[in-house]
Amino acid sequence: MRGNRGRFGLRRLALAATATMVAASVSGCQLVDDGENLVNGKELYVEKCGACHALKRAGTTGVSGPDLDQAFATARAEGFGQSTYEGVVYGQIQQPNLDTQLDPETGKELALMPPDLVTGDDARDVAAYVAMAAARGGEDAGQLADVGATKAEGTAQAKGGKLDIPADPDGSLAFVFASAKAPAGEVTFTSPNESSVPHNIAVEGNGVDELGEVVQNGGVSEIKAKLKPGTYAFYCSVQGHREGGMEGTLEVK
Ligand code: HEC
């Protein structure tokens, strides 16, 4: 039974602190130190973790796993040091909880967190970044400010019956475009996905309901649809991705 986690997770951390009144006198601004590369950690976090987790400083909006700012809030209040938080995240990366869990609202199976999404120094870097950023408030500065989840921007225009709406190449829960325009008629949608996070392109509205194949690592998701004038939604149908921000509006005239 792996349900009752024997390891030192965040919930246990909070419990241990309150039970023993550990007076950890660590100042809040102690930062990372043992050579972890936070920029690498943040980039990898966005690509490998952000599709399932929300974390404000990294700008990720995933909803399939716990919100990491919330998850850390209690433990953070107890004032443990950076290395403790790093250890917890590193342990979680190596040994997630693999019991099937059901969504209390829909009764559907929740996504599981796959083990070893990142390994070795990369896993240390991700753990260091998450431990530094979760529930800390504020914004990343310096070089760290230049990386993070991308937001969709601008409008894709159909050309010659083709509409290209790529997924964010760095693995953010976003298409490259926030909206799209196409003339009425048959439209071929393509959505290349360079990232390792699985995505597809899907369109719905006005009686149209099409799902493209789920692709990753350079695959291209494609659908064809006959569109009448009106407003449609394009989105990614992988569980949790639309809710996390992968959708936009398509205007057909
Ligand atoms: C496919 C979705 C998915 C991906 C990708 C994912 N996680 Fe998770 N994560 C979950 C789920 C579901 C849980 C809750 C079950 C559990 O605790 O293992 C979780 C739990 C956690 C927790 C514990 C939170 C708590 O409340 O105690 C941490 C920390 C965490 N993940 C960090 C990461 C990091 C770092 C990565 C990237 C290396 C990552 N996750 C990738 C789904 C995911």
Mean pLDDT of 100-127: 88
Top mutation candidate among 53, 112, 132 for ligand 1, by most atoms within 8 Å of CB? 53
Would you place residue 100 in the very low, low, confident or very high pLDDT band (cuts 50, 70, 90)? confident
Instruction: Give the pLDDT confidence score for residue 14 in this predicted structure.
Output: 58
- 61 ligand 1 Cβ < 6 A: no
- 73 ligand 1 Cβ < 6 A: no
**Distance from residue 114's CA to the centre of ligand 1 (Å):** 8
Question: pLDDT above 70 covers what percent of the chain?
Answer: 87
CA 182 to chain centre: 29
Question: What distance in Å separates the CA atoms of residue 162 and residue 166, rounded to the nearest whole number?
Answer: 13
Closest listed residue to residue 76, CA positions, set 132, 7, 140, 128: 132
Taking CA atoms, 161 is separated from 155, 177, 188, 230, 250, in Å, by: 16, 18, 6, 16, 14
Nearest CA to ligand 1 atom 29: 89
Each residue's pLDDT tens digit, 148-198? 999 999 999 999 999 999 999 999 999 999 999 999 999 999 999 999 999
Would you place residue 11 in the very low, low, confident or very high pLDDT band (cuts 50, 70, 90)? low
Question: What distance in Å separates the CA atoms of residue 74 and residue 187, rounded to the nearest whole number?
Answer: 50
| pLDDT(51) > 60 | yes
Question: What distance in Å separates the CA atoms of residue 217 and residue 196, rounded to the nearest whole number?
Answer: 5
- Which has more confidence, 79 or 150? 150
Would you place residue 54 in the very low, low, confident or very high pLDDT band (cuts 50, 70, 90)? very high
Question: What distance in Å separates the CA atoms of residue 237 and residue 253, rounded to the nearest whole number?
Answer: 25
Would you place residue 212 in the very low, low, confident or very high pLDDT band (cuts 50, 70, 90)? very high
Top mutation candidate among 69, 113, 122, 125 for ligand 1, by most atoms within 8 Å of CB? 113
